[in-house]
Amino acid sequence: MTSLPADSLVPDDARARRNVVVLILAQAVLGAQMPVNFVLGGLAGQYLAPNPCLATLPISLIVLGSMVSAPYIAGLMQRRGRRTGFLLGAAGGAGGAALMALALFVQSFPLMLAGAFLVGLYMAAQGQYRFAATDTASPAFRPKAISWVMAGGLIGALTSREIVAWTHDLLAPIPFAGAFVALIALNALALPIFAFLDIPRPPAPVKGDPGGRTRMQLLRSPRIAVAMICAMVSYALMNLLMTSTPLAVVGCGYATEDAATVVTAHVLAMFTPAFFTGHLIARFGVERIIAIGLTILAAAGVAGLSGVQLEHFFLATVLLGIGWNFGFIGATAMLTSAHTPEERARVQGMNDFAVFGMVVLASLSSGLLMNCTGANPVDGWSAVNYAMLPFLALAGGALIWFVRGGHHRQVA
């Protein structure tokens, strides 16, 4: 019997690489809207809210919309394909931006919240980009595919700063409305990108086909449970600080453009490491990379407590971005190795529901801590940074239990 040449045993990732390029473009173009919403959501909320403690509620509603729609988006993609879900997400981004712009014109805080909730539909779809990158990829290529797609946000970060700078006063005297109108156009212009996506629609289920584990059985898997906890904490801590950062920067006497620049630096730090995070995971293991990410997140909290000069905000948010990158990409890579193809939509929808649920709690807490725990912005900013501690203890304890118990050797 003739053995096959070694080259023929190497998986062909040509299709996966093409899809990664498409998803990088989508992340680069459409991803710019999330930093804009996070910079201006709190400021617009502060402008319209009847109580300053509710200033960050629009950001919380974005995340709540993501949490509610994440399982449905994942299920829709399982039934109708990734392209359908991504197009629906872009429509949600455009519709939400239109409502938020209208809310500023008619001075309606409830309408602002409705628009923010609809933007959550886009955020849920964007959360699936990283999973879609693995659909046609070999196991060896998956961490790199996830990492590279996340790196596409680097361009979005640079674009978002310019969108805020050039458009937030475009429709003066109505503040911020011009930026939300620009986001409508951004979503519309990006729609053709998804025509080039080449991910087969999953086959329709046939009676008698294996359906995989139930949700409760999946949650009892140590790898899935710890991956979800680390993803939840990484994303929640990033949101906890970033929701308050524009309010803290402006509250400490700096300009809106300064807040946008700080957020841009943060988003650059979120996505720049993604060019090599996948390689680091392949070399050192996913557990070590997550542990490094949690350590860097702790360092971000220390930097945030060290002062309120502009350089302190830059240092804290840059460390926050790097820590999020290692923690979140690592947790995503861990999760994709823990389920079968039949369980894909169930696991990914459940994961994003839990992640965005924790982020809703973080964003709500962020506004309350920032505006309602002290006499000045410095006190509020300190409270936000101290609030990181229990989240870090949860994720760090779960990861230590996972490794010391030998659960990291079990892969689906």
What is the spatial distance between Cα 328 and Cα 334, in angstroms, rounded to a whole number?
10
Residues 6+ apart with CB under 8 A from 409: none
Residue 308 near residue 316 (C-beta atoms within 8 A): no
Angle separating helix axes 274-284 and 142-151, nearest 10 degrees? 160
What is the spatial distance between Cα 235 and Cα 230, in angstroms, rounded to a whole number?
8
Quote the pLDDT of residue 206: 56
Quote the pLDDT of residue 316: 96
What is the spatial distance between Cα 265 and Cα 268, in angstroms, rounded to a whole number?
5
Strands (E), 230-313: none
CA angle 279, 196, 72 (to 5 degrees): 80
What is the spatial distance between Cα 5 and Cα 266, in angstroms, rounded to a whole number?
47
Distances, alpha carbon 95 to alpha carbons 92, 346, 359, in Å: 5, 27, 22
Q: Which residue has the tokens 């402008």?
A: 47
- Burial (CB < 10 A; 0-12, 13-18, 19+), residue 168, is buried
Fill in the amino acid letter for 213: R
Q: Which domains does the chain have, with CATH numbers?
A: 13-202+213-409 (1.20.1250.20)
What is the spatial distance between Cα 319 and Cα 310, in angstroms, rounded to a whole number?
14
Length of the chain: 412
CA angle 254, 255, 261 (to 5 degrees): 95
Q: How far is CA 76 from the centre of its chain?
A: 20
Quote the pLDDT of residue 320: 96
User: Dihedral angle at the C-alpha atoms of 132, 133, 135, 139, nearest 10 degrees?
Assistant: -140
**DSSP state, residue 128:** T
- pLDDT tens track of the chain, all 412 residues? 334 333 333 456 899 999 999 999 999 999 889 888 887 888 888 889 888 778 878 988 998 998 899 889 988 998 889 999 999 999 999 999 999 999 999 999 999 999 999 999 999 999 899 889 988 898 889 888 988 998 888 888 788 878 888 888 888 899 999 999 999 999 998 899 999 999 987 765 555 556 678 888 888 999 999 999 999 999 999 989 988 898 899 889 888 788 888 988 888 898 888 888 888 998 999 999 999 999 999 999 999 999 999 999 999 999 999 999 999 999 999 998 888 877 877 888 899 889 888 988 887 888 788 878 776 889 999 999 999 999 999 999 999 999 997 755 555 4
Fill in the amino acid letter for 385: N
Q: Which residue has the tokens 């014109």?
A: 105
Quote the pLDDT of residue 291: 97
Q: What pTM value is reported for the model? A: 0.76
Q: Which residue has the tokens 């300009």?
A: 255
Residues 6+ apart with CB under 8 A from 8: none
Q: Which residue has the tokens 């879609």?
A: 132
